[in-house]
Amino acid sequence: MEMRDLEHVLNILTLAEQSPRIGIVMGPQSGDAELLAAHALKERLGDKAVILNAPEHLQDRWSHMFKKERPRKEFALALDTDMYPVDELRYEKEGSKLRIFLSPQHDLTKDAFELEHRHIPSDMIIALGFGDETDITHILQTDTPLKNPAALINLSSMPLETLKKEMPLPTRQWDIDAMKLWSRALLRSYMEDKNTIFWAFLPKEDFQKTNQSPNILPALVADMRVATNLPALCIILWQDQDSVVNNVHILVSGTDHANVALLAQAAETPAANGNFIISGFANFSEAEAEMRKLLKNL
């Protein structure tokens, strides 16, 4: 690992510890890897991190894994005071009506004002998927304001694997319901190929009865791999409770990233952090048959 990358990571950790609100901003060059990296960052940084502007088409593609991000925005009434000097500003609220009063040095018309719709200012921003730094400057000015310009971390040119390896995971405490879901997975699991592949099956009733979301599966598998010495390759088939047809999906999770990459390439789907998803099967049998075809590529 290069010293420059290490310094980058240490800077992130220091700023993150000091920042009450962290915005993760995605640029025009963002793809699946950047979206997955954004969610990995959010997981590592905790509740104070917010993905501000994930592209809609990427969120749609990964909606079976991640809840769509809809962070609240603010409206602002903007006036250029160099062009329209103002001596006094005040506001009053009468009943349900809010009035803003200005004392301009010259006459004003409504054309002098601009209505802006922007995200709540962040104490720190992490940028992903920006090929041109002018794009970052523009988005900070128009959509994702930053309180302290020095608290901008641009990871667009940093290898995502570096971030994944060097940023420590927070201590995670799984609640009882999450453990119940994992217990149900174990009840419907088996090992094969000399205990090198772990298969598990989760029907929609398991998520309903444990009040859990499929979103937790990658993190849950990662932690359970450590706790229960799971094989290098884990295949979890689950049923989406929110869909009626083609609602069976496959999570492929592995510690051998070369093998995961081969499987992902064969499935024509992106992989990140040793995980990828294959979606849209009518039932478990169909999903398992497709997965076994892919395993022949190893």
Reported as a single tens digit per residue, the pLDDT across 246-265 is 889 999 999 898 899 999 99
What is the pLDDT, as a whole number, of residue 8? 57
Q: Please report which confidence band the pLDDT of residue 7 belongs to, taking 50, 70 and 90 as the band edges.
A: low
Q: Are 146 and 140 in contact (CB under 8 A)?
A: yes
Domain extents for the chain? 3-72+120-166, 74-116, 176-295
What is the pLDDT, as a whole number, of residue 170? 45
The pLDDT of 24-51, averaged and rounded, is: 86
The pLDDT of 30-38, averaged and rounded, is: 84
What is the pLDDT, as a whole number, of residue 250? 94
What is the pLDDT, as a whole number, of residue 254? 92
173-185 b/e with 16+ CB inside 10 Å = b?
Answer: ebeeebebbbebb
- The predicted-structure confidence for 59-75, as pLDDT tens digits, reads as follows 887 877 788 888 989 88
Q: Is 60 left (phi over 0), alpha (psi -120 to 50) or beta?
A: alpha
The pLDDT of 9-16, averaged and rounded, is: 70
CATH no. for 176-295? 3.10.310.30
